[in-house]
Structure 1
């Protein structure tokens, strides 16, 4: 990971879901800006691999669904690395099924990570940021939070809840100088996306780009699937002082796939 001087030089950023996909891309982008990254994930293997890329990455194994563990880990990060200047919520899971076939467990686990996890980290880090009078929170949501998706009710609903929670957090912390924003990706080339594609990934990717009227889903006007780095760039911008007058905003990074409905 190459490093360039920026406002993030020496600043501590906590990134959840940092073991892979968008989370790993965000961690790398922040390291490139000079940040010290507390990389959080519940899977130690991918965290260790990411940490091996740079001494600026510090791995912390954590399940964000566990509120007490979140509080303890945030406390540990601040004691070991310093005050958290930026929190990026990326950790998420996807359980797909029609609503009439969706299990209680699938619903509960989806909300435990995608929504309650954001609450846990936002509460733990937000109270510390408010006390210091500065900080930025960015939650990676989804364009599915704003447009219905067949077979994705639990995921879409959990992301919609996380989006509104982040905006409410932003409203409450605004007078403390803390900004809270959302980046909502569309289809992005991650392991989660590829798990939906099956064996013929190339054909599946093209179907996503082209759209599927049978599933009430338009395609991607820009004609490409996003790379994780595309999402990371938007996250870094919103976490930076370049976005110092932006809060409670939901930035769609989906190639126009929702027609910003």
Structure 2
């Protein structure tokens, strides 16, 4: 089978699927033949998806911070559409602030989505996958989980916790044929990234992109050696690879997709 249709016959569930990286992941999975259940907090049929993949995509609203809602949706999905082969956790939020100004509410909300949400979805899915002896879970984390970022303590800590959770889960379910991996993007041209720029200094997008590529000594941030900011499709391609049989001997791996920005620290 060609790579173009390598996921034909597979059923995937994607969280945070309404925009940005999640939107790109839905398209990448569907374009390779998968049927996709696309979830987000507020999403309606037919969703923001190209006509070429709409027939393969079903949209469902989901709050990943609600464990009962997650369990119900995973169960209903399998009852209606069949067993899940792939789960991709993309849902995430970023609330930037220096630690001394960080509110308890922002800290708790960040972990509720970025860490507990990943646990809720991964737990519900792998509970079923292990009984079948197969499955792949891919979680979109962040290179901020592996290198300190000023003003991003809650986000970075939540992503670091998510990476280690996924590795522990991968260890526990490996003997049952289930693989669990993470993809850690760097700066990617999404609404979240644009929101960070707007909050920081209001620069126009071209200047902001240039600043990310060049780095910022004042904030102890390196630039991007490859000289470009990521497109959501760059991250989606890495997700699809880890979800596919081409990565059948890869588990508990954290794949950085950041153009070398962290110098793989």
Q: Same fold (TM over 0.5)?
A: yes
Asked if 1:254 corresponds to 2:253, the answer is no
Say if 1:135 and 1:178, in contact at 8 Å, map to a contact too.
yes
Say if 1:197 and 1:205, in contact at 8 Å, map to a contact too.
no
Unaligned runs of 5+ residues in structure 1 are none
Distance 2:70 2:99 in 1: 31
SS at the partner of 1:156?
A: helix
Instruction: After superposition, give the CA deviation of every residue in 1:74-127 in whole Å (9 maximum; x if it has no partner).
Output: 011111211000000000000000000010110000000000000001100011
Quick check: 194-203 or 242-251, which moved more?
194-203
Distance 2:128 2:50 in 1: 25
CA RMSD of aligned residues (A): 1.5
Asked if 1:227 corresponds to 2:231, the answer is yes
Say if 1:209 and 1:224, in contact at 8 Å, map to a contact too.
yes
**CA drift at 1:48:** 2.4
Hey, what does 1:100 align to over in structure 2? Answer: 100
- Aligned in 2, Cα 1:79/1:32: closer, same or farther, shift over 3 Å? same
Distance 1:108 1:28 in 2: 31
Asked if 1:214 corresponds to 2:218, the answer is yes
Distance 1:186 1:40 in 2: 23
Distance 1:158 1:27 in 2: 24
SS at the partner of 1:237?
A: helix
Say if 2:14 and 2:38, in contact at 8 Å, map to a contact too.
yes
Instruction: After superposition, give the CA deviation of every residue in 1:47-82 in whole Å (9 maximum; x if it has no partner).
Output: 723386511110010000000000000011111211
Q: How does 1:1-261 map to 2 (within 5 A)?
A: 6-44=5-43, 48-50=47-49, 54-198=54-198, 199=202, 200-261=204-265
Distance 1:162 1:216 in 2: 24
Distance 1:148 1:93 in 2: 18
Unaligned runs of 5+ residues in structure 2 are none
